[in-house]
Amino acid sequence: MKYRYITLLMGTVLSGCTSIQETLFPAPNVVFIMVDTLRPDHLGIYGHSNPTSPYLDQYASEGMVFERAFAHSGWTLPSTVSMMTGLYPHEHRVGRAPDSPSEFGSLPKERQTMAEVFQTAGYQTMAVVNNTFLAPDFGLAQGFDTFDYRGADNQDIRSAKESTNVALDWWAQTEGQKFLFWHVMEPHMDLLPPKEARGAFVKEPTVDVPFDFKQGATITKQPPAERNTQQIADVLALYDEEILAVDQQLGRLVEGIGTDNTIFVFTSDHGEEFWEHDDFEHGHHLKGVLTHIPLVFWGKGIPKGRERSVVSHLDMFRSVLELATLPIPEGTHGEMLIGSPLPSRRMVLSENTLYGDPLLSVVSETHRLEINQETKMASLWTVDEQGMEQEVLQDNLDTLAEPLFNYIRTVRGDVKTIEQVSGPSVPSQDAFQNLKKLGYIDAER
C-alpha cells in the first residue's frame, strides 16, 4: 500500500516515534461531490421548506456550511475548470469560443488540476462524471487514474444510483489513499424524477413529466403576469424530487465510504433560473440564481459551524489541498476556509456566459455589479443575505460601484472579453451530438 502521512512538527519530543505517528495520522481520503445544476435555496440546510436533503442536512450539522458561496461562471464547463484548477475563467480560458457556437475550449496539459496534485502525492484517483461538458475532450481527465465518463443528453443520463454503484465498487477494490470526484446530473433538465423520489412533493403535476426545455420555453414566452403559478410551483416540486433522489444516493455513498479518515466536500457547478429574472435554465447571465452555490465540508478534522463570508470555488480548491496537506500549484488563487477567520468585505468574480452577450459580474456582501462586455453597460443591484438581487439602483452608482470596479481591476485588469478560449476544438462526434441534444448547440434562445 502507498500511504502519505501528515507530518507533526513536535520537535525532538517525538523524534523517536515516527512509525507511531504514521500509524495514527494517515493523510485523509478526499471525496469531492458535485451535483449538477443545484441551487442551495432548495436544500434544507439553506432553509428550504421541502425535505429535499435529509442526508446532506445530517452531515452538514457535523461540518462546516458556507452560506454565501459563489461559482465563477453560470454554466458547467468554465465553472468546473475553475474549481479544478484554482484559476478564473479569464485565466484558464476554457469556455465557448466567442465567434463560433459549436467550438469549445480544452484545458491545456500544462495546467495542473486538483486531481494531478493528489495523483502526484501518491493518491489513487477516480472520477465518475456524467455531463458531456466533462468529457475527456475538454481536458478534465488529467490526473485521474480512472475517468469513468458517461455522456448525457436531456432524456438519457446515468442515474445517481448507478454512479454510486460505480464509485463504491472502485472504493472497495482500491488500496491506499483515495481521491474521488463524484458528479451526478439529476437536477439538470429534463426533470424526470426517478421512481424512488417521484411523487414526494407533487402527486399530479399540471405540467408534463418529463418537463423539458420546450415546455420551459413556452412558459418563458408568456408575459410574466399571465404565467400559470401552479405550473411553476409544480416545476419546482419536480426539481425538488430530483434533488431528493440525489440525496438518497449521497447517503449510500457516505455510508459505504465512512467518515473515519475521509473529508467530504459538497458543491454544485451552478444553479438554475425558474423565471426569477424572466428567463429559464442557465448559462444566460451571472446573477445569484445561477452563481450562488452550496458549499459544505464534513468528515475528518472539519469543525462544526456556519460561515457567512462571501467565498468561492477558488477558496474551495485551495482548502481541499491544504486540508490534505498538499502543495498549492503556483499561480492559483483562493484562501483557506477551514480553521482561520476570513477577512471581511470579500468579493467574488464570475464571468463567461454561454448564451447572448458576454457578461462578467462581481458580488459583495451587499451588492452585485453585472457588466455587459459587448455594450459596456453595467447594472448595480442590492443583494440579500444569499447574494440574490433585490433592487436595481439608479442613484449614487459611481460611489457604490467603485469598490466592485476596483476589485475587477485588481483581479482582472479590465472588463474586456476573454480574447480566445484555450485551444478551441470541436468535441468528438459523440460529445457534439450530446451537446446538441442538451440544447447547447443551435438551441433556440
For the chain, the domain total comes to: 1
User: Higher confidence at residue 206 or residue 423?
Assistant: 206
Number of helices (H), then strands (E), belonging to the chain: the values are 12, 16
pLDDT at 428 (0 to 100): 73
Position with higher pLDDT, 23 vs 418: 418
In the beta sheet, which residues pair with residue 176? Answer: none
Range in 19-28, 155-164, 394-403 the model is least confident about: 19-28
pLDDT band at 20 (very low <50, low <70, confident <90, very high): very low
Rounded Cα gap, residues 229 and 221, in angstroms: 15
Give Cα separations from 333 to 224, 237, 279 (angstroms): 41, 37, 32
* Per-residue confidence band for 384, with pLDDT thresholds at 50, 70 and 90: very high
Arithmetic mean of pLDDT, 47-63:
98
Asked if residue 84 belongs to a domain, the reply is: yes
Give me the DSSP letters along 64-97: EEEEEEE-SSSSHHHHHHHHHHT--HHHH--SB-
| Residue 7 placed within a domain | no
Kindly tell me the burial class for residue 327, based on how many C-beta atoms sit within 10 Å of its own C-beta (0-12, 13-18, 19 or more): exposed
d(CA 140, CA 145) in angstroms, rounded, equals: 12
Q: What tens digit of pLDDT does each residue of 305-342 get? A: 999 999 999 999 999 999 999 999 999 999 999 998 88
- In this predicted model, what pLDDT tens digit does every residue of 262-298 receive, in sequence order? 999 999 999 999 999 999 999 999 999 999 999 999 9
Say what the pLDDT of residue 119 is: 98
Count of CB atoms situated within 10 Å of the CB of 331 = 11
**Dist CA 426 CA 100 (whole Å):** 10
Range name among 24-28, 237-241, 441-445 with the lowest pLDDT average? 441-445
For residue 341, what pLDDT is reported?
87
Residue 153: which pLDDT band, with cuts at 50, 70 and 90? low
Domain containing 270 — which CATH number?
3.40.720.10
Residue 119 lies in a domain: yes
State which residues form the domain around 167.
27-438
| pLDDT value for 312 | 98
Q: How far apart, in whole angstroms, are the C-alpha atoms of residue 55 and residue 249?
A: 9
Residues above pLDDT 90, as percent of the chain: 77
Percentage above 70 pLDDT, the chain: 88
443 pLDDT more than 90: no
Per-residue confidence band for 7, with pLDDT thresholds at 50, 70 and 90: very low
User: Does residue 19 lie in a domain region?
Assistant: no
Residues belonging to the chain: 445
Report the chain's mean pLDDT, rounded to a whole number.
Answer: 90
pLDDT of amino acid 22: 43
pLDDT tens readout for residues 189-224: 999 999 999 999 999 999 999 999 999 999 999 999
Residue 50 resides in a domain: yes
* pTM of the full structure: 0.92
Tell me if 59 is assigned to some domain.
yes
